[in-house]
């Protein structure tokens, strides 16, 4: 099947620079996607955007180029609840990728078992209006109850303004909960303002809630990075991510978000994104927790 990508959508960065920051051995890119290829794994009819293809082989090449050991591949909304591209990538990763799927109420125990065998360790619930038509809450509760006995967790994606309304739902979930992209703070608002502090409070009061300190390129309002000698881009996002890394060092994850869906103004150089890490995790000990210990504990617990 032929797919035309959504007009205005940028392709992923074709030749990322080599990062200056040397990742610790065993580092995990804990948030990335595969898209299609559409001819092999068609995009979902209910999708809100059509991406450019971004295959497992391209993802694995990026992993090696940047110096990561492993990936956590997250089902993107353009594939809906058809997890075939994700499962194919996991099965071809030689055990070096684990996955987060999207499932619907009708998912069978056999489906869940197959996903587990392939390396799926969680499901994603999406509350971002531009990306999905929301699933009813009772369906999500039912799914969470089904996956909890497998030792899986729930990944949630929402915008900061929606947290007050969603908070009680999140805290009632029976599994570990991982928040995508720090709950998407508005970084023009103060770090100690009520919006971000509500998210910090959520994490402080609920030790089962983790956060990905990801997507500076998406959250930054400073526009394309003004490079300085330190390759220190997306500076306006640093205080938010650094605060979470330092306050909740055992519950943070980092990922590239390659191939960066829905970016229209600026496509990040993934090498530069890696060079963001030492600005938010400023010691070797914090870097090891963020990039190795935490994702290994969550996704490869049998190796710890």
Q: How far is the CB of 298 from ligand 0GY (least distance, A)?
A: 17
Does 77 bind ligand 0GY (CB under 6 A)? Our answer is yes
**Residue 168 DSSP SS3:** helix
Q: Which is nearer to ligand 0GY, 131 or 148 (CB)?
A: 131
* Farthest-apart Cα atoms in the chain, separation: 53
Measured from the CB of residue 285, what is the shortest distance to ligand 0GY in angstroms?
27
As annotated, the active-site residues are 257
Residue 239 φ then ψ, to 5°: -60, -35
CA 152 vs CA 126, 263, 266: distances in Å: 17, 30, 34
Q: Looking up tokens 């969680």, which residue turns up? A: 122
Stretch that binds ligand 0GY, among 115-123, 191-199, 256-264, 295-303 (CB under 6 A): 256-264
The reply on whether position 257 binds ligand 0GY by CB under 6 A is: yes
Residue 76 binds to ligand 0GY (criterion: CB under 6 A): yes
Site size toward ligand 0GY (CB under 6 A) is 11
* Cβ nearer to ligand 0GY, comparing 82 with 246: 82
Handedness of CA 156, 157, 163, 169 (dihedral sign): negative
Segment near ligand 0GY (CB under 6 A); pick from 17-25, 108-116, 254-262, 291-299: 254-262
Q: For residues 130 and 304, which CB has a smaller minimum distance to ligand 0GY in the complex?
A: 130
Work out the end-to-end distance of the chain between its first and last CA atoms, rounded to an integer number of angstroms: 43
From the list 74-82, 147-155, 202-210, 276-284, the region that binds ligand 0GY by CB under 6 A is: 74-82
Give the footprint of ligand 0GY on residues 143-162 (CB under 6 A).
157
The C-alpha atoms of residue 143 and residue 224 are separated, in whole angstroms, by 39
From residue 270 to residue 299, the character string flagging contacts with ligand 0GY as x (rule: CB under 6 A) and all else as - is ------------------------------
Residue 262 makes contact with ligand 0GY by CB under 6 A: yes
- Binding to ligand 0GY, residues 163-222 (CB under 6 A): 180, 218
Per CB under 6 A, 29 contacts ligand 0GY: no
Cβ(84)–Cβ(92) under 8 Å?
no
**300 to each of 22, 88, 292, 303, 304, how far by Cα in Å?**
22, 19, 10, 6, 7
Q: How far is the CB of 302 from ligand 0GY (least distance, A)?
A: 27
**How buried is 29 (Cβ within 10 angstroms: 0-12 exposed, 13-18 middle, 19+ buried)?**
buried
Closest C-alpha among 64, 63, 59 to residue 37: 59
Binding residues (CB under 6 A) for ligand 0GY: these are 33, 76-78, 131, 157, 180, 218, 257, 261-262
């Amino acid at each position: 099947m032929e797919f035309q990508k959504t007009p205005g959508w940028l392709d992923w960065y074709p030749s990322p620079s080599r990062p200056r920051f040397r990742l610790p051995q065993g580092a995990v890119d804990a948030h990335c996607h595969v898209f299609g290829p559409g001819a092999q794994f068609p995009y979902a009819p209910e999708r809100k955007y059509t991406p450019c293809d971004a295959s497992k082989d391209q993802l694995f090449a990026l992993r090696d180029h940047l110096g990561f050991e492993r990936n956590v591949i997250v089902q993107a909304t353009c594939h809906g609840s058809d997890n075939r591209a994700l499962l194919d990538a996991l099965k071809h990763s030689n055990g070096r990728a684990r996955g987060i799927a999207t499932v619907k109420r009708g998912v069978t125990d056999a489906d869940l078992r197959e996903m587990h065998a392939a390396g799926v360790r969680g499901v994603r619930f999406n509350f971002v209006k531009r990306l999905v038509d929301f699933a009813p809450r009772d369906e999500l509760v039912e799914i969470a109850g089904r996956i909890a006995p497998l030792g899986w967790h729930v990944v949630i994606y929402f915008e900061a303004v929606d947290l007050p309304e969603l908070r009680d739902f999140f805290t009632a979930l029976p599994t570990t909960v991982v928040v995508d992209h720090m709950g998407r703070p508005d970084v023009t608002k103060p770090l100690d303002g009520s919006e971000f502090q509500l998210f910090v409070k959520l994490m402080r009061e609920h030790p089962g809630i983790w956060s990905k300190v990801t997507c500076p390129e998406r959250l930054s309002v400073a526009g394309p990075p003004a490079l300085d000698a330190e390759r220190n881009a997306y500076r306006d996002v640093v205080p938010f991510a650094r605060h979470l890394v330092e306050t909740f060092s055992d519950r943070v994850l980092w990922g590239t978000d390659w191939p960066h869906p829905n970016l229209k103004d600026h496509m990040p150089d993934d090498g530069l994104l890696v060079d963001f890490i030492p600005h938010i995790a400023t010691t070797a000990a914090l870097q090891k927790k963020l990039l190795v210990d935490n994702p290994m504990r969550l996704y490869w617990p049998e190796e710890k």
